[in-house]
Chains A and B, each alone.
Chain A
Amino acid sequence: MSDRERSKAKGRSKEEGAEQEADSAETEADLEALDDLLDEIDEVLEENAEEFVKNYVQKGGE
């Protein structure tokens, strides 16, 4: 968790000043949090999305 917090802080300073075209409904902090979240998710997302989705077939149940 603490590692994650550190990388979060790092991400924030790196991206300061960048990406100013924020949707007015969302605050800058929200966007930063979302970017940070997506960066984290990128690391665990299935690399081959197409294969992953194609192979997920469930038959039978209930």
Chain B
Amino acid sequence: MAIHKVLGTETEFGIAVRGDTGFNPAVASSLVVNSYPGARVKVQWSYEEESPGRDARGFGHDTFGLIDPEGAVVNSVLANGARLYVDHAHPEYAAPEAFDPLEAALYDKVGEWVMHSASVEVSKISDKRVSLYKNNSDGKGNSYGAHENYLLARETPFGDVIRYATTFLVTRQIFTGSGKVGSENGRQDVDFQITQRADFFEEEVGLETTLKRPIINTRDEPHADPSKYRRLHVIIGDANLSEVQNFLKLGSTALLLAALEDGAIPDPLDLLDPVESCWTVSHDTALRHRVDLDGGGTATALELQWRYLEWLNKYVEKELDEPVWQQVLEEWERVLVGLEEDPMSLSNTLDWVAKKHLIEGYRARDGITWDSARAQAIDLQYHDVDPERGLYYRLAARGSMRRLFTDDQIKAALAHPPEKTRSYFRGRCVTDFSDALVAANWDSLVFDVGESHLKRIPMMEPLRGTKEMVGRLLDEAETAADLLELLGG
């Protein structure tokens, strides 16, 4: 039986300072992160525990382990267990580890609220007006990431992940894309394509995330007990505004990985050229393009997704009881049916369709062309996290986007961590013991309780430190010193 799929997202937000074209993005990002007005603790992020240069295929790459001085500048842990920091030239929100895909989608949505409230604060304390965009491309050949993370068992052969997940990741683009006007990075010209990211993928497998991006990223950095766990770092997804789409992206991928670990994917459905298929699938908004299969024959991305859905329907029926998986399957089927009958029927569900619908509206009414500045401006502004200016938010406010969460749920998730993963312990410590918390990482917290040594609490098990396990203990402890004593040392 596959291990539970603890999961979460990390998103780099695009940043612009209005009226200031020469702004330094690292400085502006620091301003944003530093200005966040919500509950949090500024910490030292314990870099020594991170090893982004370790490769899941078994070889190392030491130079990647060097501390990036820019990245180390501003780091904080929020009351909901998230990490808010500056990653190179972007503010980044890494959501807390979630127990299931619905919770992961909720805590991902919270990131938009965090960024918006930080930008509002910036405008109060400085004369700068910062706009933040939850997208993945500037339309000029620069891309930044929205990564997903899924817990896998260490014994899962990485070769199986490559073999069985590649085609899934390429074809899921038909419902994970956030839409983009034009193409980039030397790809074939198109008016509009399904994803922001596809143009930037150039390898099937690899360690890189910033150049020659691979469909399967091999970074072996579990942020948990490395003898028991892997973390699959999925870099080939778009940042999504649509709650339903994000839930489907996370849920379908988590299911695929669980089934893969249980040997329940009967056929790898190998593509003849996964990288080229990645581009052609994204470029085909009519969803009619047939990709070449390695064993001969062709199929559309939609046909291949129907195969996965069929297998995973059976898998869930046999292995998984929790209602959330049924919900994933239902949304998945609904979306595949919609894409099959008329993709535009999903303008209330998928970001790429909603965006295309808007721009098509302007083409019909005002005669704008796909390569016009206005079309590109609509593309960009769709992703603005400001609820007044962001076009996604305007659509959602008038009921034109299906939602999964209420604003009250999002507000609660801003202030409180998930309860069924170790992020509960992290978030509660931020709320209750902020004075003593000096350093953090995904798998540890470090406290200064006034003794000669700092005390480090390891959190190597993603499913420990839950409310059920430590809630009472946290309630009882009045100080961090109490907490450490209650924890036994």
Inter-chain CA distance A52–B372, complex, in Å, is: 12
B380 touches A56 (CB 8 A): yes
Within 8 A of A (CB), among B123-176: 137-140, 142-145, 147
Within 8 A of A (CB), among B19-36: 21, 25-26
Interface size on B, residues (CB 8 A): 44
User: With A34-B361, A37-B400 given, is the CB distance from A44 to B88 under 8 Å?
Assistant: no
Inter-chain CA distance A48–B400, complex, in Å, is: 26
User: With A34-B361, A61-B87 given, is the CB distance from A45 to B377 under 8 Å?
Assistant: yes
B139 touches A59 (CB 8 A): no
Tell which of B147, B357, B377 touches A52, judged by Cβ atoms closer than 8 Å.
B377
Chain A residues, CB < 8 A from B358 = 37-38, 41
Inter-chain CA distance A55–B378, complex, in Å, is: 14
Closest CB of chain A to B402's CB: distance in Å?
A: 15
Inter-chain CA distance A53–B416, complex, in Å, is: 37
Chain B residues, CB < 8 A from A14 = none
B394 touches A56 (CB 8 A): no
B373 touches A44 (CB 8 A): no
Chain B residues, CB < 8 A from A45 = 374, 377-378, 381
Chain A residues, CB < 8 A from B16 = 55-56
Within 8 A of A (CB), among B42-72: none
Chain A residues, CB < 8 A from B139 = 53, 56
Tell which of A4, A57, A62 touches B235, judged by Cβ atoms closer than 8 Å.
A62
B14 touches A58 (CB 8 A): yes
Asked if A16 lies at the interface with its beta carbon under 8 angstroms from chain B, I say: no
Closest CB of chain B to A30's CB: distance in Å?
A: 10
Closest CB of chain A to B85's CB: distance in Å?
A: 13
Asked if A1 lies at the interface with its beta carbon under 8 angstroms from chain B, I say: yes
A61 touches B362 (CB 8 A): no
0/1 interface trace, chain A 31-55, chain B, CB 8 Å (1 if under): 0001101101100111001101111
Inter-chain CA distance A56–B395, complex, in Å, is: 23
Interface of chain B, main secondary structure: mixed
Inter-chain CA distance A48–B145, complex, in Å, is: 27
Within 8 A of A (CB), among B280-303: none
Asked if B83 lies at the interface with its beta carbon under 8 angstroms from chain A, I say: no
Asked if B376 lies at the interface with its beta carbon under 8 angstroms from chain A, I say: yes
Q: Which residue of B lies closest to A40 (CB)?
A: B394
Inter-chain CA distance A61–B144, complex, in Å, is: 5
B138 touches A38 (CB 8 A): no
Chain B residues, CB < 8 A from A62 = 12, 87-88, 143-145, 147, 209-210, 235
Q: Which residue of B lies closest to A47 (CB)?
A: B377
Closest CB of chain B to A62's CB: distance in Å?
A: 4
User: With A56-B14, A61-B12 given, is the CB distance from A44 to B87 under 8 Å?
Assistant: no
User: With A57-B142, A60-B88, A60-B90 given, is the CB distance from A38 to B381 under 8 Å?
Assistant: no
B90 touches A58 (CB 8 A): yes
B140 touches A57 (CB 8 A): yes
Inter-chain CA distance A37–B392, complex, in Å, is: 12
Q: Which residue of A lies closest to B22 (CB)?
A: A55
Q: Which residue of B lies closest to A38 (CB)?
A: B361
Asked if B453 lies at the interface with its beta carbon under 8 angstroms from chain A, I say: no
Chain A residues, CB < 8 A from B389 = 44
User: With A37-B361, A44-B388 given, is the CB distance from A60 to B25 under 8 Å?
Assistant: yes
A41 touches B391 (CB 8 A): yes
Closest CB of chain B to A46's CB: distance in Å?
A: 5
A59 touches B361 (CB 8 A): no
Closest CB of chain B to A11's CB: distance in Å?
A: 12
Asked if B264 lies at the interface with its beta carbon under 8 angstroms from chain A, I say: no
User: With A1-B397, A4-B398 given, is the CB distance from A58 to B89 under 8 Å?
Assistant: yes
Chain B residues, CB < 8 A from A56 = 14, 16, 138-140, 380
Chain B residues, CB < 8 A from A4 = 397-398
Asked if B472 lies at the interface with its beta carbon under 8 angstroms from chain A, I say: no
Inter-chain CA distance A43–B373, complex, in Å, is: 17
B88 touches A61 (CB 8 A): yes
Inter-chain CA distance A34–B93, complex, in Å, is: 34
Chain A residues, CB < 8 A from B398 = 4, 37, 40
Q: Which residue of A lies closest to B390 (CB)?
A: A44
Q: Which residue of A lies closest to B389 (CB)?
A: A44
A61 touches B89 (CB 8 A): yes
**Pairs A–B under 8 Å by Cβ, sample size 14:** A1-B397, A34-B357, A37-B361, A37-B400, A38-B362, A40-B398, A44-B394, A45-B374, A52-B377, A53-B373, A54-B373, A56-B139, A59-B25, A61-B90
Other A-B contacts than A58-B138, A60-B144, A62-B147, 5 sampled, CB-CB below 8 A, are A41-B378, A46-B381, A53-B377, A60-B88, A61-B88
